[in-house]
Chains A and B, each alone.
Chain A
């Protein structure tokens, strides 16, 4: 990790829309090789923070610095929320993954052999090469998520950003996706940002975490930040952090305010 030269750096950034301020005086950095989680209640500002990272939302005040690579903008491999894609048209899996190459293919050109090879390699990387010709719209939730991760990998990203990747999945699909992301981080040294409202996903997989809430923005290592005290304050209810067989368990106890 190189603290002096972060990939993304928020400096006293105020984020919001028009006059509506969502997050104020945000300060943190994401470095090469980070596995960074962003967690918080619904509507607390996770998506706003994500948009600022992706450059689709300019800060109202302060700065969001994104490092360039030889003058080229940092390349993001973005995996959107699966439910945000409502495909009526039966795009084949390889066509969806090829969209990740569209930027490189260029105007008036068909994908070259190199693009086709990268699509195949990306599908192989997430263990769904056999789905190559299947229709995206007919896949299960877990399979769709892998296709979207493959498309993000096909962009040859500097950072992989996943927005609620396990939302609405059954337990086995959820663990399978989280293990895949961990593999991409561990084996490929991929810098990963994982956005979720599921505390267990964050607690057991990421290395550093940001609790996103306007009046309670915290950043640090998982053990420092995901404490019973912080989480109880964040959710305004008693929360315990327990350990079982090396895994962290987040236990919510009692009614709100008790």
Chain B
């Protein structure tokens, strides 16, 4: 559903737009901010581990999981179904990606394209009226985030951040040098699994709420801005999370102002911030 359908034509003032967003769409606003922050935070690790394509794959798998829950034979709720399919994909991928016969990117490419293909087939077999939620997500409309979905996302946000802050040393060491961490008693495989399970939960829940473009965009764009601007690791996390906070605020405003779909507008703002970071980096080096 497009933003303009819910705005009176006379509503042109910027302050009125801001007021409308805060009053009428608080769950979309706050939900997109917490997803922005969380994806930006996890994205720093994902970029550092060079597994960016895995993020793209998992967003498509979670959309597939969501689509499957609309089939009449599926007894699961949308959130749970999407989460279970994504977790299964992570477990299978963790096995497939360690093999030597087939390259990792080929495995990810296969899962990526087959998820999209199966999702299209599944959507063909669902009543049109029931697919509107998925189609809205794929088109990038995030305005109708329900309170339930928002609170689930908030719980995931708190849980994921608490685990990451509690075990910051473990995640840092394993992502930098898993082999040596293992010799010092850190269980590298266990912590890698914990990381990817958390990533799967975040991606599945966030994709259900704000769509695949938003989630994948925020796993990549804010960390890149941080990498361009900061010379210290903690600052990279902070800048990434700042971009993750500002982009939804500005993006939603611009979506209302210029009648854009909200999710692509937010990703476009994040991209503009990344471009500004790149220019700043070039200027600093000149």
B-contacting residues of A (Cβ < 8 Å)? 54-56, 73, 76, 78-80, 84-92, 95-96, 99-100, 102-103, 105, 107-108, 135, 151, 155
**Does any Cβ of A come within 8 Å of B159's Cβ?**
no
**What residue of chain A has the Cβ atom nearest to residue B235's Cβ?**
A90
Known: A91-B176, A102-B173, A135-B231. 9 other contacts (CB 8 A): A54-B182, A56-B182, A78-B180, A78-B184, A85-B176, A88-B48, A89-B176, A96-B176, A155-B184
Known: A95-B233, A135-B231. A88 touches B47 (CB 8 A): yes
Q: Which B residues are CB-close (under 8 A) to A102?
A: 169-170, 173, 181, 184, 186
Contact A80 B177 (CB under 8 A): yes
A257 to B193, CA, bound (A): 48
Range class of the B interface residue count = 20 to 34
> Which residues in window 231-273 of B have CB below 8 A to A?
231-233, 236
Q: Which B residues are CB-close (under 8 A) to A135?
A: 231
Contact B169 A89 (CB under 8 A): no
Q: Which A residues are CB-close (under 8 A) to B176?
A: 85, 87, 89, 91, 96, 99
Q: Which B residues are CB-close (under 8 A) to A95?
A: 233
Contact A107 B166 (CB under 8 A): yes
**What residue of chain B has the Cβ atom nearest to residue A103's Cβ?**
B184
A86 to B179, CA, bound (A): 12
A203 to B286, CA, bound (A): 49
A239 to B177, CA, bound (A): 37
Known: A88-B47, A88-B227, A135-B231. A56 touches B183 (CB 8 A): yes
Most chain A C-beta atoms within 10 Å of own C-beta, residue among B47, B50, B177, B227: B177
Most chain A C-beta atoms within 10 Å of own C-beta, residue among B167, B182, B184: B184
Q: How many A-B residue pairs have CB under 8 A?
A: 68
Could you tell me the distance in whole angstroms from the C-beta of B22 to the nearest C-beta in chain A?
Answer: 36
Q: Which B residues are CB-close (under 8 A) to A107?
A: 166-167
Known: A99-B172, A107-B166, A108-B166. A54 touches B183 (CB 8 A): yes
Contact B231 A85 (CB under 8 A): no
Contact A78 B183 (CB under 8 A): yes
Contact B233 A89 (CB under 8 A): yes
Contact B233 A99 (CB under 8 A): no
A234 to B261, CA, bound (A): 68
Contact A80 B179 (CB under 8 A): yes
Scan B24-46; emit 1 where CB is below 8 A from any A CB, else 0: 00000000000000000000100
**Does any Cβ of A come within 8 Å of B75's Cβ?**
no
Q: Which B residues are CB-close (under 8 A) to A56?
A: 182-183
Could you tell me the distance in whole angstroms from the C-beta of A115 to the nearest C-beta in chain B?
Answer: 12
Could you tell me the distance in whole angstroms from the C-beta of B247 to the nearest C-beta in chain A?
Answer: 22
**Does any Cβ of A come within 8 Å of B185's Cβ?**
yes
A107 to B173, CA, bound (A): 14
A155 to B48, CA, bound (A): 25
**What residue of chain B has the Cβ atom nearest to residue A77's Cβ?**
B183
Contact A103 B183 (CB under 8 A): no
Most chain A C-beta atoms within 10 Å of own C-beta, residue among B169, B170, B172: B169
User: What would be 9 A-B contacts, judged by CB atoms less than 8 Å apart?
Assistant: A54-B182, A56-B182, A78-B184, A89-B48, A89-B176, A89-B233, A91-B233, A95-B233, A99-B177
